[in-house]
Structure 1
Amino acid sequence: MPDPSTTRLALYKSKSDGSELVNYSQDIGQNWDKVDTAVGYQSCTSSTRPSSPYSGKPIFETDTSYRTFFSNGTSPASASWVEIPNGSASFNSTLRLASGKQINVNGSGSSATLAVVNAATTTDLLSARVTGDTQDRFEIETDGTLNWGAGASTAPDTNLFRSAANTLRTNDSLTVDLNLTVSGSAAITGATTVGGALTVTGNVNSAANLGMGAWTSWTPTWTTSSGAATPSYGNATVDCKYVRIGRTIIFRFDITFGSTTNFGTSPGTGDNWLFSLPVTPAAAAGSSICMMALRQSNAAALMARARIASTGTDMILSINSARVDAGAITNTGDVDSVSPWTWASSNELHAVGQYEAAS
């Protein structure tokens, strides 16, 4: 009987007492063939892995872009394969690091778990896509800039980055659905939408105090409730502006009629004036917006109540007082081209008001 074969490659061993003659094919040739087969990684496919591997046996698979494995010697053999990461195939297992160890790219001196050195601040450190995307849905650049996008073929379009010491900034819009708390000062140069409460324990600062910027000019559309006897401004001076703070609309309304102002063809007391509002109001028709001064001259002036018209987007004026000089007025009711007097060049309308926007 020969001596027991080797445990890993099953190499044949003749009797050690010298009683067995050496057989070249058996003792040398076949053994070297086994050694030659075992050297390096054995080529196979994912379905033809060795069925009886020795512990430490390395293989690579030709049908999986050369994923590499070694056998840990456990049974069954099919469960003994441990994947080895390489630069050719996608790693298909879990890579675990012990606590305190790191993944270090390009010799970073950082002790972070993931430590990377890139040549430029704009080089992407991390990106995320879903299958089929040709553009990233999320990116982290080396300087910490965060970029978001819709994916597919659309490049990222939203960002958040450090713009200066102790300052985070976005070039895009920010919507807060719940509460926003500012412990310092809030400087707002554009629009800020807060779905919940906005709490500022410091100051709200900007060139326009509340940070809304300059007021917006608007030219009210001037029509009538009947659709007839439609007037037009001509060379009237129309100086109307508004500002929006959340859903609050504050407006200034100043109109001085000119020599070419047209007050409509054959106007009557049923052709009541309508002036469009800058933003659709939330309140129903009939709700008051402001008091408006109607001025024919220094002495001939009175007040009217501006209310939301039945159109829901205009205001209509109700004569609300007598003339300040106690002079007679031609007609009462709602203001039109002949009420409270027959309007003419240099007559004026003035008001400051506010209301809630519909959205």
Structure 2
Amino acid sequence: MPDTPTTRLSLYKSASDGSEDVNYTQDIGQNLDKLDAAVGFQACTSSTRPSSPYSGKPIMESDTTYRTYLSNGTLPASASWIEIPNSSATYNNNLKLATGKQINIGASASPANIAILAASTADDIISTRISGDTQSRYLVEADGATYWGTGTTAADVTLSRTSTSTLTLTGNLTVTGSINSASNLNMGAWTTWTPTWTTTSGSATPSYGNASVDCKYARIGRTIIFRLDIVFGSTTNFGTSPTTGDNWLFSLPVTPAAATNSTICTVALRQSNTAALTARARIASTGTDVIISIAGGRVDATAVTNTGDVDSLSPWTWANGNEIHAVGQYEAAS
């Protein structure tokens, strides 16, 4: 009676009490064949895996670019296979690391869970694409510069560290909540704009000529802050044969949300040190311009001859050196 076969390869063992003669084919030849077949990874396909693998049995699948597995010896056999990552095949399972362990690329000295040692600051570290994309939709470089795009063209939004303590956003930022700043909120230089100068009647259209037109605005969300400083010059044209019905219109830098006749700021009108008065700027019916309406008397108490809305003859006959100044804010339409 032979002894019990080996547990993993079922190698034949002749009776240890000497009662059985050695049979070459059975005791040596077949056992050598089993040993030879068991050395290294057994080649198979994903559908022809061994049906009775021993615990620790390694296999490689020729139809999955050589994914590699070992069996943990449990039943059923089909559920016993544990995938082993390799550089040939695409890993087809979750990779779990214990707490405190890391994925380290390039022998980085960082203790982070994911640590990467790159050759240059511009090396691509993380990239995401959707099938069919030719460009990254999301890309992070080694220095932290982050890019977003459509997947078919170069990135159109960038966030990067451009100098000490400075992050720079290239593109637009839409905020649905609040922006809180414990220090200054630096919006950069204001934008220059030249108001279009027309009249409500379309007649007696004026032109600036060599007037000093210094108008700028800044935008924070939908809030427009602006200043308007105009000093008329020697070649300023106040229109041909103007009347008090040719009221002036000055265009705003951004279309306002306010309704017609809404006041957006106070205006200072100046003919001289004594001939000066205040007015108000209100939204015109055009929806994109303001009309300046005389709102008070002259500082020297001299009666104002022409009142109502400002034009080439109101509140006085405008000339070289006369000035208009305003600072205000309003809500943009969009």
Shorter-normalised TM range: 0.7 to 0.9
Of 323, 328, 334, the residue aligned with 1:354 is 328
Percent identity reads: 53
SS at match of 2:170: coil
Q: Mark the CA change 1:299 to 1:161 in structure 2 (over 3 Å): closer, same or farther.
A: closer
In 2, the alpha carbon distance for the partners of 1:111 and 1:31 equals 50
In 2, the alpha carbon distance for the partners of 1:87 and 1:279 equals 58
In 2, the alpha carbon distance for the partners of 1:355 and 1:181 equals 21
Residue in 1 that maps onto 2:262: 287
Q: Quick check: 1:147 aligned with 2:143?
A: no
Q: Quick check: 1:222 aligned with 2:197?
A: yes
SS at match of 2:30: helix
Where relative contact order (Cα < 8 A, 6+ residues apart) is larger, the structure is 2
In 1, the alpha carbon distance for the partners of 2:104 and 2:304 equals 91
Residue in 2 that maps onto 1:93: 93
Give ranges in structure 2 of 5+ residues lacking alignment.
none
Residue deviations 1:150-192, cap 9 Å, x none?
Answer: 252334441233733xx24124255544334444x4362xx3x
Letter aligned with residue 354 of structure 1: G
Normalising by the residue count of structure 1, what TM-score does the alignment of the two structures yield?
0.77
Normalising by the residue count of structure 2, what TM-score does the alignment of the two structures yield?
0.82
In 2, the alpha carbon distance for the partners of 1:132 and 1:107 equals 33
Letter aligned with residue 152 of structure 1: G
Contact 1:122 1:142 in 2 (8 A): yes
1:337-348 correspondence to structure 2 within 5 Å: 337-341=312-316, 343=317, 345-346=319-320, 348=322
1:152-163 correspondence to structure 2 within 5 Å: 152-156=151-155, 157-161=157-161, 163=163
What is the CA-CA distance between 1:122 and the residue it aligns to?
Answer: 3.3
In 1, the alpha carbon distance for the partners of 2:167 and 2:149 equals 20
Letter aligned with residue 23 of structure 2: N
Of 201, 218, 228, the residue aligned with 1:244 is 218
In 1, the alpha carbon distance for the partners of 2:212 and 2:331 equals 23
SS at match of 1:170: strand
Contact 1:217 1:239 in 2 (8 A): no
Residue in 2 that maps onto 1:59: 59
What is the CA-CA distance between 1:38 and the residue it aligns to?
Answer: 1.3
What is the CA-CA distance between 1:53 and the residue it aligns to?
Answer: 1.0
Residue in 1 that maps onto 2:239: 263
Residue in 2 that maps onto 1:172: 170
Instruction: Please say which of residues 35-44 and 98-107 is displaced more in the overlay.
Output: 98-107
Question: Cα RMSD over matched residues?
Answer: 3.1
Letter aligned with residue 351 of structure 1: H
Letter aligned with residue 4 of structure 1: T
In 1, the alpha carbon distance for the partners of 2:100 and 2:277 equals 82
Residue in 2 that maps onto 1:315: 290
SS at match of 1:31: helix
Q: Mark the CA change 1:81 to 1:303 in structure 2 (over 3 Å): closer, same or farther.
A: closer
In 1, the alpha carbon distance for the partners of 2:46 and 2:236 equals 91
SS at match of 2:218: strand
Letter aligned with residue 292 of structure 2: L
